[in-house]
Amino acid sequence: MTKPRVAILGLGLMGTGMAGRVLTAGFPLAVYNRNPEKTAPFAKAGAYVARTPRDAAARSDIIISMLADDNASRAVWLDKETGTLAAAAPGTWLVESSTASVQWIHELAAAAKQKECELLDAPVTGSKPQAAAGELLFLVGGSTEALAAVRPVLAVMSRDIVHLGPTGSGATLKLINNFLCGVQAASLAEAMSLLTASGLDREKSVAILAAGAPGSPLLKVLTTRAAANDFTPNFVLRLMAKDLTYAREEGARRGVAMNTAAPAIADFEKAIAAGYADQDFSAIIPALQKP
């Protein structure tokens, strides 16, 4: 059977790995990135480099976006001149894998329906290494029909695909997931600051914390990166601040007080102000140790 034509919009830390997996699996691929320099390796490997999201949509059966936030997603999908939906043919399957607000997902799904297309919200867990290795976990909201249509493409990028329910379900769980990660990272950074201020042996203390009840996989990764002073981004710090903000907003919309979100956001904003915005979010640890 002929493989569906795929477009991937956004070649950041995640989109680059995802596009590489799709191309390696033999799907006809179109790529778009705001900075065209990132498309060069894909052009050499045989992908079509689209001038605009609309250009990519015009030659695709399945369109996947992996972008920074609601604003970037809105521009790619809905711009009247260059946006994807302006050229998507009826019946095109749309996949929003960005970590976005639930309200935006519902708005985008409605816009897709007007174009006789169907949207899946399918954000992922995992970061840069998992994207490159095809080991992402897709959290999917939308219809079973749409998921069946795009599953072969998602499968080459993932270790598993979990259908959580109707539109918005994937986006909701992704925000909950990142809320937990962000709050834990902020609390770890505060704990490390107290540890340092107390004059405790850092290496011994971290070893005890990592081996004890607080020693989650995330804590171990963050403390290892901090010890190595390696903040090369796998997950960009400013995006964690964004995700925490979206999670708090979703809680407010549903009448749930996300009380630990506000101080965590404040910690991440301090790190951003200190110049760590585009480093890995583990950089919140040294950021909070500066006066």
Residue range 7-36: mean pLDDT, rounded: 97
Give me the percent of the chain exceeding a pLDDT of 90.
Answer: 99
Which residues are marked as active site?
174
SS3 89: coil
Q: Are residues 39 and 139 in the same domain?
A: yes
pLDDT of residue 41: 97
pTM of the model: 0.97
115-170 pLDDT, tens per residue?
999 999 999 999 999 999 999 999 999 999 999 999 999 999 999 999 999 999 99
DSSP string of 37-51, one letter each residue: GGGHHHHHTT-EE-S
Residues 6+ positions from 32 with CB-CB distance below 8 Å: 7, 8, 9, 10, 39, 49, 50, 51, 52, 53, 55, 56, 76
Closest Cα to residue 51, out of 25, 20, 30, 66?
30
Range of the domain at 22: 6-167
Residue range 164-177: mean pLDDT, rounded: 98
User: Does residue 209 surpass a pLDDT of 70?
Assistant: yes
84-126 pLDDT, tens per residue?
999 999 999 999 999 999 999 999 999 999 999 999 999 999 9
Q: Are residues 65 and 156 in the same domain?
A: yes
User: Does residue 290 surpass a pLDDT of 80?
Assistant: no
Residues 6+ positions from 43 with CB-CB distance below 8 Å: 49
User: Does residue 250 surpass a pLDDT of 70?
Assistant: yes
Contact present, 260 and 183 (Cβ < 8 Å): yes
The whole-angstrom separation of Cα 46 and Cα 26 is 10
Strands 158-165 and 48-49: unpaired
Q: Residue 17: give its domain's CATH number.
A: 3.40.50.720
Q: Residue 279: give its domain's CATH number.
A: 1.10.1040.10
Q: Are residues 41 and 150 in the same domain?
A: yes
Measured on CA atoms in the order 187, 193, 196, 202, is the torsion positive or negative? positive
pLDDT of residue 39: 97
User: Does residue 291 surpass a pLDDT of 70?
Assistant: no
- Give the number of domains in the chain: 2
